[in-house]
A = this chain, B = another copy of it.
Amino acid sequence: MGKKKELPPYKILYEILRKQITDGLYSKGDILPSENELCSTHSVTRPTVRKALDRLVHEGYIRKKQGKGSIVQGQPQGVGILSLSGTTSAIGKENLTTKIVIKQHLTNWDEDAFGFPLNDSEKQVGCYRLERLRIVNKQPVFYDITLVPNINLPRFVSRNFENRSLFDIMRTAYQIEVIGGEQKLMAITADEKIQKYFNLKSAQPILRLDRKMETSKEGFFFYSQVYCNTADYALYGTF
């Protein structure tokens, strides 16, 4: 219903190219159309193209080489998209399934958000809470809890987080981009709840990440807590 605010051309081009890469139109090692070609194709000038490409470089989608071109790096796996690195081979996406443990629903905050203090406007609204479990070869390997403040997010409850990244939905549906954040990492001993989720027989070491995502919407943050059983698969990321 509400008309999407017009995006500047460099952001439109950025989204087009990003989608082309994530949809597999380009594979790792492919070279994107040259800057001059993108100018012609999208009726913008070279600095505009370069600004879109710079964002793709920044996020790890492409690598530029002077004189050669913009080389696709594939799907980066950084802050938003966590993945696992097997002890013998990398795990493909197809072996990782997501189970919604508790669907996103409106609830109240605890005193804080995973140890991060809340600001006054956050405290005044509730938050959406979502819990997911990621499973590899029938073995649960990570469990994550997400808290998103209930501020101007129409139809948030009905969105499907099984197959899509929260980051993606925030960016495309609400024009809210993660621009940075803080994270705390620690190695803990699995308590009973975690042992249950991961089907563990003993209290072994578990990796825990608490994160506060800072966004392009001023004063709007969201929070996540990830538990990861790294006995068989390390938690892998690019940066």
Contact = CB atoms under 8 A, between A and B. Distances in A.
A180 B239 contact: yes
B185 A230 contact: yes
Interface stretch (A16-24, A25-33, A130-138, A201-209): A201-209
A122 interface: no
Nearest to A207: B187
A183 B181 CA distance: 18
Given A189-B204, A207-B207, 8 more contacts: A78-B239, A183-B239, A185-B207, A185-B228, A185-B236, A186-B235, A187-B187, A188-B205
A63 B216 CA distance: 10
Interface of A: 54, 58, 60, 63, 78-79, 85, 179-189, 204-207, 210, 228, 230, 234-239
A185 B234 contact: yes
Contacts of A237: 182-183, 185
Going nearest first, the 8 A-B pairs with the smallest beta carbon separation are A205-B205, A186-B230, A187-B205, A184-B234, A187-B187, A187-B207, A185-B235, A186-B234
A184 B85 contact: yes
A232 to B, nearest CB: 10
Contacts of A228: 185, 187
A182 B60 contact: no
B205 A206 contact: yes
A60 B185 CA distance: 19
A186 to B, nearest CB: 4
A128 B205 CA distance: 32
